[in-house]
Amino acid sequence: MLDPLAVAPAKPAVFIHKLKGRKILGLQRRGKYLIFELDSGDFLVIHLRMTGRLTWLKHSPEGVDRKYLRLLFKFGNRANLAFNDSRRFGRAFILPADAAGAFWNRLGPEPLERSFTSARLGRLLEGSGRPIKSFLLDQSKLAGVGNIYADEALFSAGIHPLRPAGRLSPRETARLSRAIKATLRQAIALKGSSVGTYRDARGARGGFQDTFKVHRREGEPCPRCRTPVQKIRVGGRGTCFCPSCQK
DNA sequence: CGTTAGCCCTGCTGGC
DNA sequence: TGCCAGCAGGGCTAAC
């Protein structure tokens, strides 16, 4: 345990006790949470937030990046999993088996699941007066969409980020549901967005940042119509969009 | 209930 | 060059 904040609000001793000697039976993901299924029935859950980074060291902890190193998980076969996080926003915690159902139920549906259809999105949006951008970032409505992907999906769908969520037409809702799926699929295919320090578990950068159409491109010409990309704040989050293409 | 502002963190950027 | 205010962002809590 190198940084107790990485497991807060749990006590480091309790966290270690619940993990020590356990076997990992499987890996899963839900929303932005990484899930390690333990042989105790509990789950080790890790959220990287913005700057968190997991690195897999297959044979020994040798060569591990000590900078911003918060946690080092040591495996019986001498493999190690390092958790580095410059911003100290990321968290690891033990989710007890009996609390798991309630925990995951707080999250909305997975946009890439077959059951997530345009009609399903329409029902979720129904009656909501908040800006569509805020809605997309709300993990209890939709799981896994972050600021980058919300901006890019809204641009792709041609929808203004401030539009009231419940007032999208069926056609716009269909465009948005397709845009969310396509944006996430492309980002996954390119192994994520390395805006700052993001690296995957093998240390590789993502490639999606090179495809941004509007995100972090304030003042640059819209790739569709050349109108300068605008930046506003929506729900406290920086939001980039094309004022001409997104209505 | 649904929604929102403020807070947590620290590296980086931009203005002076 | 150096200083420092402000920004970035996901999710939680408190407040409306």
Summarised one tens digit per residue, pLDDT across range A57-71 is: 999 888 899 989 999
Query: Please, are residues A109 and A142 in contact by the beta-carbon 8 Å criterion?
Result: yes
**How long is the CA A10 to C1' C5 vector, in angstroms?**
33
State the nearest residue by CA to the C1' of B2: A128
pLDDT-derived band at A196 (thresholds 50, 70, 90) equals: low
Contacts of A21 (CB under 8 A, 6+ apart): none
Strand C: which of residues 39-98 in chain A lie with Cβ below 7 A? 47, 49-50, 87, 89
The nucleotide minimizing the C1' distance to residue A51's CA is C9
Residue A141 CA to C12 C1' — how many Å? 16
**For residues A213-222, average pLDDT:** 86
Lowest mean pLDDT among A14-28, A88-102, A116-130, A181-195: A181-195
In Å, how far from its chain's centre is CA A7? 19
* Contact, A31 CB vs strand C, < 7 Å: yes
Query: Residue A197: pLDDT above 80?
Result: no
Q: What is the mean pLDDT of residues A207-217?
A: 79
Query: For chain A, what is the mean pLDDT?
Result: 91
**Integer CA distances (angstroms), A149 to A76, A112, A180, A233, in order:** 38, 13, 7, 16
Q: Dig out the tokens for A240 from the structure.
A: 């980039």
Q: For the full predicted model, state whether its pTM sits above 0.85.
A: yes
Q: Please give the nucleotide, over all strands, whose C1' is closest to the CA of residue A127.
A: B2
Residues with CB under 7 A from strand B: A 5, 8, 68, 86-89, 127-131, 134, 138, 165, 196, 235-236
Task: Identify the pLDDT of residue A91.
Answer: 94
Nucleotide nearest A47 (Cα, C1'): C10
**What does the pLDDT look like over A96-142, one tens digit per residue?**
999 999 899 999 999 999 999 999 999 999 999 999 999 999 999 99
pLDDT at A178: 95
pLDDT higher than threshold 80 for residue A37: yes
- Give chain A as a 3 state SS string: CCCHHHHCCCCHHHHHHHHCCCCEEEEEEECCEEEEEECCCCEEEEECCCCEEEEEECCCCCCCCCCCEEEEEECCCCCEEEEEECCCCCEEEEECHHHHHHHHHCCCCCCCCCCCCHHHHHHHHCCCCCEHHHHHHCCCCCCCCCHHHHHHHHHHHCCCCCCEHHHCCHHHHHHHHHHHHHHHHHHHHCCCCCCCCCCCCCCCCCCHHHHCCCCCCCCCECCCCCCECEEEEECCEEEEECCCCCC
> Do A198 and A192 touch, CB atoms closer than 8 A?
yes
* pLDDT confidence band for A15 (50 / 70 / 90): very high
